[in-house]
Structure 1
Amino acid sequence: MLRTIQVYEIDASWDRFVSGHPDGTIFHQAVWRRIVERAFGHRPYYLAAAEEGGIRGILPLFEVKSRLFGHSLVSVPFGVYGGILAADPEAEKALVSAAGDLAARLGVDYAELRHVHANGYNLPTKDLYVTFRRPIDPDPEANFAAIPRKQRRMIRQGEKHGLASAFENDAVEALYDVYAESVRNLGTPVFPLRWFQIVREEMGEACRILLVRREGKVEAGVMVFYDRDVVMPYYGGARKDAFQYAVNDFMYWELLRRSAEEGRGVFDFGRSKKESGSYHFKRHWGFEPEDLAYQYILGPGKEMPNGSPNNPKYRLFIETWKRLPVPV
């Protein structure tokens, strides 16, 4: 008989189920629970649909209380993917129901399920985000040829300016310096250094840091996640005065080139808001957008949250964040 339970101690069976599901990601795995708990203390509610034969579905949730964004359940915080993974419709339906019951019990404004693909239960769905993924050709030159001509020219420009890349996996502070400056300039809150240190510690070999230097100075960097054969550049940034060297194009090409040489299978360029700067950057690289289905279970009288930077509610905060020192 199928039961929905809250899982307090995550064992290997949870991660085995995630790894065996086509939509499973590192954000569904136990490691992300440890990271979020250690860094921010958000309370986890990990739900599983199970029977005597084992797990048939999972849903990782965290209770998040924010002055800016309200009281919510999120699957999962700081991850671009999340939501329900189910082996069959019965397990999926049971987890939707359990999430609704939990949301009502906690009195949250909403539960946000960051699905890659929408489920069939007519939940309110936001169409703000897309992701960009493409298979990696084993031949680095074939990957280079697949990049549109203008971006290939930018990559060569970076090479001519003497840019060089290397994995420096313990250089968390060097990465943080360029990341924090870059994100601050966009008017986005900067995560604390401790977040990056915890991510690196907990993920181990599934997390690497690629730095780009010019004449020894770090000009750009990206923290990269590895999940099965998927390569995901996740936290990246570059110094504004290095844009003249086409540093971002060079950095992502170097990561793609190295990934092909290592035999990786998929390059996941990650989430972007539709029509944003990062959206167009990835389109210019020849990647096609795939809609993400962020779905919601809403509290009584509540609406889907509007996290768009065009929301007047956030404009003052964005302009303020742009003017803050780095780090703050």
Structure 2
Amino acid sequence: MAYSVEPLSGDNAHQWETFNHHSREGTLFHSLRWKKILEDIFGFNLRYYLIQNEQKIIGICPFVERIRGYFRGLEDIPHSNFNDVILDDSFNISDINDLLSLFSQKCSYLRFNVSNADILERITYSNFSGEETGNMVLDLKQTPPDTIQQTLSKNTLKRIRRFEKEGFRIQEITRRSDIGQFYQYYAKNMAHIRGKILPLSFFEMLWDFFAPNELRIVILTKEDVCAGGTLALVDPARKIVHHEYLALNRNLPHYTPTYYLDWDLIDWAWANGYEMVSLGRQKLDPDNPRFRDKAKFGAEHIPIHSRLVIFSKKVSPLYRLKRTLSRSS
């Protein structure tokens, strides 16, 4: 097989978009609109590559360049729930080392995700498994809202219905200038859980690139009281809704707005003909309350198969030492 790797450029951008659009693994997060947002808002040094086999595009690889001391690496793109290397069905997984050899000329190490775990078992380069995480995905074809409702406990249903009984309503944000109300409670919630607060400009750019047909932002309100809200990316072509960002009013301690907001998004997706709802990334940890809440609404954990491949002989012992020290601490 004559594999080659071609950097993304203005001349082949249409090939990237076409491959992403037609691939069953393609997502909005692989689109060049998403790439533009990551570059403009965060200033990431992104390196996107098309994989060719005898001039036919058989894969796309979105990476961010990282410099670690004297070593240059390529890693999976951040702030993206789906950031796999995508390969079509014609790729022979036994050729993975031939493909990796092309990247060995470009970097000291490569960190990437794939959907097919069997690919990783064929790697002969020095490699290490990555963080055990995954996406919590609800298949509405198998588990429609009526089925979910029957499995929810009486206490959970009571907490959901409480909002409507007390006069709370879902309000969809239809103007860019109103994003600030959602962002106010998003930022406060992230500060509360000590998470990374993304800038308002990021959410405004999401609006510019995806509204109105591929973006849904809602807040749960009663008069001048906001209980919280959600931002979801909507993919009509693939019939999937991505729950991306949560806003919460932490001054309402006796309410559980996350239940109502998750249920609202699921119900909306079903009513509008969507087949899948991704509730975001999560480690496989049944003891984690957020994991349990997502599983409660029918979401299944779809693992992300991650691997760090080291090409440089100097990097490998350094990384092994780092892992040893990290485990001992």
State the TM-score, normalized to the length of structure 1. Answer: 0.81
1:62-97 deviation digits (Å, cap 9, x = unpaired): 124699xx9753221111221311121267555433
Provide the rounded CA distance (Å) in 1 between the counterparts of 2:320 and 2:207: 33
Structure 1 portions without partners, runs of 5+ = 105-109, 314-328
Provide the rounded CA distance (Å) in 2 between the counterparts of 1:304 and 1:249: 42
- Find the residue that maps to 2:29 and give its secondary structure: coil
Contact conserved, 1:62 with 1:73, CA < 8 A, in 2?
yes
Matched to 1:33, the amino acid is K
Other-structure match for 1:268: 278
Contact conserved, 1:129 with 1:274, CA < 8 A, in 2?
yes
- Decide whether aligned partners of structure 1 residues 306 and 191 sit closer, same or farther in structure 2, where only a CA change above 3 A counts: farther
Provide the rounded CA distance (Å) in 2 between the counterparts of 1:235 and 1:102: 35
- Decide whether aligned partners of structure 1 residues 243 and 232 sit closer, same or farther in structure 2, where only a CA change above 3 A counts: farther
Other-structure match for 2:83: 82
Alignment of 1:51-130 (within 5 A): 51=53, 54-64=56-66, 72-87=73-88, 88-89=91-92, 93-104=97-108, 110-118=109-117, 119-120=119-120, 121-122=122-123, 123-130=127-134
Which one is further off, 34-43 or 82-91? 82-91
Contact conserved, 2:41 with 2:202, CA < 8 A, in 1?
yes
- Find the residue that maps to 1:111 and give its secondary structure: strand
Matched to 1:167, the amino acid is E
Matched to 2:167, the amino acid is G
1:260-308 deviation digits (Å, cap 9, x = unpaired): 111111011111133333222212333232222122123433438999x
- Decide whether aligned partners of structure 1 residues 218 and 12 sit closer, same or farther in structure 2, where only a CA change above 3 A counts: farther
Contact conserved, 1:130 with 1:271, CA < 8 A, in 2?
yes
Q: How many residues align?
A: 304
State the TM-score, normalized to the length of structure 2. Answer: 0.81
**Pair member with larger Rg:** 2
Contact conserved, 1:85 with 1:92, CA < 8 A, in 2?
no
Provide the rounded CA distance (Å) in 2 between the counterparts of 1:180 and 1:66: 30
Other-structure match for 1:234: 244
- Find the residue that maps to 1:240 and give its secondary structure: coil
Provide the rounded CA distance (Å) in 2 between the counterparts of 1:7 and 1:92: 21
Other-structure match for 2:35: 33
Provide the rounded CA distance (Å) in 2 between the counterparts of 1:248 and 1:4: 44
- Are 2:210 and 1:198 aligned? no
- Are 2:186 and 1:187 aligned? no
